[in-house]
Structure 1
Amino acid sequence: MTSSPIKLGLIGDNIAASSSPALHRIAGRLVGLSVTYDLLRPADRGASFEAVLASAETAGYRGVNITYPYKERVNAYIDVPDPAVRAIGACNTVLFGAKRPVGWNTDYSGFMAAYRHHFGQRPPGRVAMAGTGGVGRAIAFALCQLGASELRLFDIDAAKSSALAQALRALPSATTVTTAATIEEAAKDAEGLVNSTPIGMVGIGGCPFPEATIAGRRWAFDAVYTPVDTPFMVAAGAAGLDLLSGYELFFYQGVDAFRHFTGKDVPELPLRDALKIGEEKALA
C-alpha cells in the first residue's frame, strides 16, 4: 500500500447516500493504493460550489468527482482536453495538479461501457429521454455514439432540450434528434426509455415516465442508483422491459474516474464482489 493516501472526494448536493467513497477506497486497496474519499457538500460548509472546488485543490486532493447540480457549472474552472467532452459541456471527474484543473466526463464513457456490457452490440433503437442536464447530455452523446436511430428529448426547461438537440445535430451521426413538448410525446413508439433526471432519488422520489408510457417498450435505463430499485425501474420491470440500472452507470463511471485519478485499471469482477459484501468486510 502507498504510504501517503491519495485524497479524492465528491462535490454535490444530496450525496449522503453515495456509494462513491466505498468504490474508490476498495478500488485503491485492490491495486495497492491507500485512498481516502470525502463527501464535500457545499451546503454543509456554508460555501459556494466554486469555493469548495478551490479548497479541495489547495487541501491536496488528487481529484474530485462532480455530481448534481454542478456538472455543467464546473466547466468554467477547468480545461477539457477531449473534444467530445467539450461538446457535451459537462464534466464529472476533475484532476488537480496542472496549472488549471483538467476534466473528463466518465458518465459518457461509463454509459457506453454499461450499455455494451448489458446489451452487447444491439443498437438502442428509438429512445425517449427525460432530462437534458449534465448527466442527460453525457448519455445523449453516448446514445448517438452507440447508434440510436432516433433520440427524443424532453425537459421541463425546453431551452435546455433545444440546446442539447442542436449540439447533437452537429455530430457526424446518423441519429435523428428531436425535442418533445411532453414526456408522453417523447415516449410514443419508443423502444428505449431513459431517465436522466433526479426523479426517483432518495429524498426526491417519483417516476419520470407515466405508467401508460412504459408498457410495450423494449428496454429502460435510470441514471438514479440511490436506490437501485427506483419507482421507474420497478414499473419498467413489471412491464417486462429489459433493465439497465443506474448502478451499472455508477460502476463504470467510477472505474473510469479511478483510472483518471490514479493511472490504474482496477479489476472489475473483484471490485463488484467487494462492493456487494460491503466496504467494511471488503477492507477487513
Structure 2
Amino acid sequence: MLKLGLIGDNIKASRSPALQRTAGELAGRPTRYDLYIPPELGLSFEDTFAKAQADGLAGTNVTLPYKERVVPHLRIDDPLVARIGACNTVLFAADGPRGFNTDHSGFIAAYRAQFGDMAPGRVVQFGAGGVGRAVAFGLVALGASEVVLVDMDRAKADALAQAITQAGNGVTMGRTGTVDDLDHADGVVNCTPLGMVGYGGSAVPEGRFPTANWSFDAVYTPAVTPFAVQSEAAGTPFLSGWELFFWQGVHGFEIFSGIRLEDTDALRARLLDME
C-alpha cells in the first residue's frame, strides 16, 4: 500500500485523493491518500508535517498556504525548484524529506497540451505566492516576453519579478504592475485563491477582463470559477486549473511511486466520470 497525503487549509473539496487513488489503481499500486488540515488538527504546519512523516507516508502534497513554508524543511536537489522557492510535492526518502514542484511542470504540460507552440506573449499574472511562483517560472520556460505581476504584497511581487528577469536570460522580463496592464495583455493568469471554494470574487475587476490570446485560472474548485466566466464573456480562450491539477498530480504520482503512468487518457476519463 502506497500511503500518501495532502497538507493544506480548506482542502475538503480537493480532488487529489481521487486522482492519486485512481492513478494507483491503474498502475497496479494500491494507494491510500489522506488529508491533513492543520487548523482542524489543532497543530502548526510544522507539527502537521512531522505527523505526516511519523504516520509512515511515502510522500505528501502540500498546498495553500504552505508551499513556501515547507521549503526550509526539505532537501531540494533541482536548482530550478530552489529558485522557485516553493514545493507542492514531498517525498519522504530514507535520507530525509525531498522537495519537488509539479505545479511548475504541470502548468507547462497543461499549457502545451491546449495551446501547442503558441508563445504566451505579454502576461499579466495575479498572485505571486506559491503556485504563482511555479507558474511564473513556467511562463519563463514557455518563452513569455514579459510577466507583469499584480499582488497585494508588493515586496513579494517585486522579488518574483526580479527572479523572473534573472531566469529569463534576456527573453523574459518580469515587473510589477496594476490592473491597468490588462489593456495590453496577451495572456491573463490568476494564481490567487479568489474564486476558490471558501473564497469569493475574481482577481480581475468586473468589466476589466480583456479579449486576449489566452487565460488561465489556477483555481479548479469549483469547476466554473468567476474568472472562467469573465474569460468566456471576453472571448478569451481559457485554460482551466483542472488541467494543472491533473498534470501536477500525474507527475506527483510518478515521483511518489517510481512508476511512469503510460495511459494518462484512462486516468483523465476516470476522473472526469467522477465530476
Task: Give me the TM-score of the superposition, normalised by structure 1.
Answer: 0.94
1:185 has 2:180 as partner: yes
Q: Quick one: which amino acid aligns to residue 45 of structure 2?
A: F
* TM-superposition CA deviations, 1:8-32 (whole Å, max 9, x none): 0000000000000000000000010
Unaligned runs of 5+ in 2: none
- What is the 5 A alignment of 1:208-223? 208-223=203-218
Unaligned runs of 5+ in 1: 280-284
The secondary structure found in structure 1 opposite 2:184 is coil
Equivalence for 1:175 = 172
* TM-superposition CA deviations, 1:163-206 (whole Å, max 9, x none): 101111211251121111x2x23312101100000000011120
Is the 2:185–2:210 contact (alpha carbons within 8 Å) kept by the matching residues of 1?
A: no
The secondary structure found in structure 1 opposite 2:70 is helix
Which runs of structure 1 show a deviation greater than 4 angstroms over 4 or more consecutive aligned residues?
none
2-side partners of 1:42 and 1:235: how far apart?
33
Q: Indicate which of 86, 93, 97 corresponds to 2:89.
A: 93
1-side partners of 2:101 and 2:32: how far apart?
21
1:159 has 2:155 as partner: yes
Identity %: 53
Q: Indicate which of 211, 220, 230 corresponds to 1:225.
A: 220
Offset, 1:219: 1.1
1-side partners of 2:67 and 2:136: how far apart?
15
* TM-superposition CA deviations, 1:75-98 (whole Å, max 9, x none): 010011110000000000000023
Q: Quick one: which amino acid aligns to residue 7 of structure 2?
A: I
Q: Quick one: which amino acid aligns to residue 229 of structure 1?
A: V
* TM-superposition CA deviations, 1:36-58 (whole Å, max 9, x none): 00010001110011111111111
Equivalence for 1:121 = 117
2-side partners of 1:132 and 1:32: how far apart?
38
Equivalence for 2:200 = 205
Offset, 1:278: 2.1
- Cα 1:164–1:35 shift into 2, 3 Å: same
Q: Quick one: which amino acid aligns to residue 178 of structure 1?
A: R
* TM-superposition CA deviations, 1:214-254 (whole Å, max 9, x none): 13222110000001210010111121110100000000000
1-side partners of 2:102 and 2:116: how far apart?
19
1-side partners of 2:252 and 2:27: how far apart?
14
1-side partners of 2:66 and 2:234: how far apart?
34
2-side partners of 1:206 and 1:99: how far apart?
43
1-side partners of 2:208 and 2:122: how far apart?
14
Q: Quick one: which amino acid aligns to residue 73 of structure 1?
A: R
Task: Give me the TM-score of the superposition, normalised by structure 2.
Answer: 0.97
- Cα 1:173–1:104 shift into 2, 3 Å: farther
